[in-house]
Amino acid sequence: MIKKTLSLAIGLISAQLTMAQGFYVDEQSALRLGDAFSGAAAQADDASTAFYNPAGLTRLKQKQLTFNLSAISVTSEFNGSSTTLASTTVTGKDVSAEAFDILPSIYFSAPMSEGLVFGAYLNAPYATGTDFGDNSIGRYFSTESSITGIDFGTAFGFKVSDNLSFGFSMVMQYLSATVAQAVNTSAACKGAELQGDLSPFTCPGLGIADSGLGTSTYDGQFEMQGDDLNIGFTAGMLYEFSPESRLGMHYRNRISHDLQGNATLEVPTAAETFGNLAGLVDTKAKGTATLETPSQANLSFYQGLGKFSLQADVQWTQWSSFDTLSVKSDNDVIKGVAGPQTYNWVDSYRYAIGGSYKMTPALTLRTGLALDNTPIKDKQTKIDFAFDDYKAISFGLTYDLNKELAFDFGIQKTLKQKRAIAQGDITDPSQNLSKLKGDVSTDVLSLAAGINMKF
């Protein structure tokens, strides 16, 4: 039966833009990108503080509207090999993916009374995608995947004293995901033979030779799509030692999603006979998967020094909540194909330091450095999650056209990452009858532009 012969490791969030911080995307502000997000919870210079720390809204004395457009380019390449049953080499193209995503964001703030400021934002902190193609040697693990996570938040910041402010926001989060991968139907038939479910002469009698187990001729295709809407919150604190020195803290709670949608398995006509023997038939059914966006906490410091400023940030992310991912369905075929996948990630820390220099009354230059520890343990690396610790350098600037209008620009280069993977187990029927072994190299470049209006 299919549950004994084939269980595909479905990674519902297979994100190439995620880098070391799991599937969270930092690039939500052009101003913040320029200093490597080194003082986001403390600086509070524009309306994006509604997202980074709503307590900072109390520093904004005018209405502000901030637009940002971020572009993230990611190139990933796999160097290695893939094998299936009978030690047969999986044939196909090299595994590589080039992703270019545009992420817009908008932030608004408005003072309501003395010491009370309202804020709102719309951004996409979980927005990624990749396409490895249907004929790569890694197709039995992933062919295409995408995730879109959109946050709409309303926030309030309020002063409790001249030095201390608190803030909170309610977040409505929409999350959708798509995953697709090939199904090795000929290997499923061979696997059924090896487990005694079929006669050892069945598959050869149908024209399936060991030498052809790794070709794409008889590949089926599995795809699942799902989405969900749920609510969360954030809370923050800002303490101002002086007008030029402050400390900010911010907490973002995890949001659990029950992604609901359709799962589809398509088996080619040429594979219908032995596909049926292995329990693989054309199927479309409802399915669900539970996924959480993790809790986060930031501690930031900002210090103004005349024309210069220095800032630093430490971010904790509770990636340990991402342990397993299972697709649930009332359909036996889908339950067998979409087996559980183990991640067992660990909590991670991100460290950043940055500074700025006001070159002229209108022009401010920025730079920053960041280090983010990967939450992915060596034994849990996968073709779509093979990111190592990332080290990044950022540069940026702000040009004040006048007192009401400013333009922000930022660029961040992440140093090239390389991570070894050994995914799959052809001796274990709970795996997907293929094994992938090699190294994944990843290059990331981020650009952003923004406009900030005061009125």
pLDDT for res 427:
64
Q: What is the mean pLDDT of residues 404-417?
A: 95
pLDDT for res 277:
74
Q: How far apart are CA 431 and CA 140, in angstroms?
A: 11
pLDDT for res 249:
98
Q: How far apart are CA 11 and CA 18, in angstroms?
A: 14
The phi and psi torsions of 129 (rounded to 5 degrees) equal -175, 160
Taking only Cα atoms into account, the Rg of the chain, rounded to an integer number of angstroms, comes to 25
Q: What is the mean pLDDT of residues 191-211?
A: 80
Best mean pLDDT range from 143-152, 273-282, 425-434? 143-152
Given a contact cutoff of 8 angstroms between Cβ atoms, the answer to whether 128 and 16 are in contact is yes
> Is pLDDT above 50 for 362?
yes
β-strand partners of 258: 290
> Is pLDDT above 90 for 251?
yes
Which secondary structure element, helix H or strand E, spans residue 50, and what is its range? helix 49-52
> Is pLDDT above 70 for 380?
yes
Q: What is the mean pLDDT of residues 158-183?
A: 94
> Is pLDDT above 50 for 8?
no
Task: List the chain domain ranges.
Answer: 2-454
> Is pLDDT above 60 for 365?
yes
Q: Which residues of 200-233 are buried (b: 16+ CB within 10 A; e: fewer)?
A: eebbeeeebeeeebbbbebbbbbbbbbebeeebe
Which secondary structure element, helix H or strand E, spans residue 3, and what is its range? helix 2-5
Q: What DSSP string runs through 61-105? A: -S-EEEEEEEEEEEEEEEEEEEEEGGGPBPPSB--EEEEEEEEEE
Query: pTM score > 0.85 for this model?
Result: yes
Given a contact cutoff of 8 angstroms between Cβ atoms, the answer to whether 413 and 445 are in contact is yes
Q: What is the mean pLDDT of residues 304-313?
A: 97
Confidence of residue 134 (pLDDT cuts 50, 70, 90): confident
> Is pLDDT above 90 for 119?
yes
Confidence of residue 332 (pLDDT cuts 50, 70, 90): confident
Q: What is the mean pLDDT of residues 258-270?
A: 90
Confidence of residue 15 (pLDDT cuts 50, 70, 90): very low
Choice between 86 and 442, residue whose per-residue pLDDT is larger: 442
Task: Report which of 344, 379, 234, 245 is spatially closest to residue 300, judged by C-alpha positions.
Answer: 245
Those residues with Cβ within 8 angstroms of residue 418's Cβ, 6 or more apart along the chain or in another chain = 388, 439, 440, 441, 442
CATH number of 2-454: 2.40.160.60
